[in-house]
Amino acid sequence: MRGGNNQFTLKSYKKLFESLYPQLCVFAYKYLNDLDLSKDIVQEVFLKVWEDKIAFENESHATGFFYKSVKNKSLNYLKSKQYKSTERYELANMEAYETEEFYMSEAVVIETSAVIENAISTLPEKAAKVIRLSIEDYTNNQIADELSISINTVKDHKKVAYRKLRSLLSFLTVR
């Protein structure tokens, strides 16, 4: 993760960026409700960490740092005069956004979604499509129509996919 001088190498930083960027954008969007602004804020956080040559003990520490930084930058934006003068500013929403419960629940949902999406992407292409449509509340009939396959084929893809996903995601179950 870090180079010999206790800092990121460009390659390791690019890898970290690619793995965290999508979920951090979604996370910022939960606060800002503006995708372009969310992307800008996440990019600014990554740029600042690179410029300041911040070193991390491990990947988990880095992930936590990025989530906290994106949260703080998003909240700072919401508190800014620019935002207050152009948007409907509701103090009650700000207080809810600032709670540790909101932060933790959103971070957990987004990280879990990323883990599930990574697991789905390991499935055969058709099975992955079936599962994604199923997650979007498509019925088996709708999936069959959408993918031009039989309902039995949809069921077979689901069976194979669920078996593999259960194995890949077993660590998520509460015991």
Q: How many CB atoms lie within 10 A of CB 60?
A: 9
> Rounded mean pLDDT of 150-174?
80
- Tell me the domains of the chain and their CATH numbers: 1-102 (no CATH), 121-175 (1.10.10.10)
Greater model confidence, 117 or 139? 139
pTM of the predicted model, to two decimals?
Answer: 0.51
CA 105 to chain centre: 12
pLDDT, one tens digit per residue, over 10-53 is: 888 888 888 888 888 888 888 888 889 999 999 999 998 888 88
Among the listed residues 32, 39, 170, 29, the one whose alpha carbon sits nearest the alpha carbon of residue 109? 29
Contact 64, 49 (CB under 8 A): no
How many Cα atoms occupy the beta-carbon half-sphere of 111 within 13 Å? 12
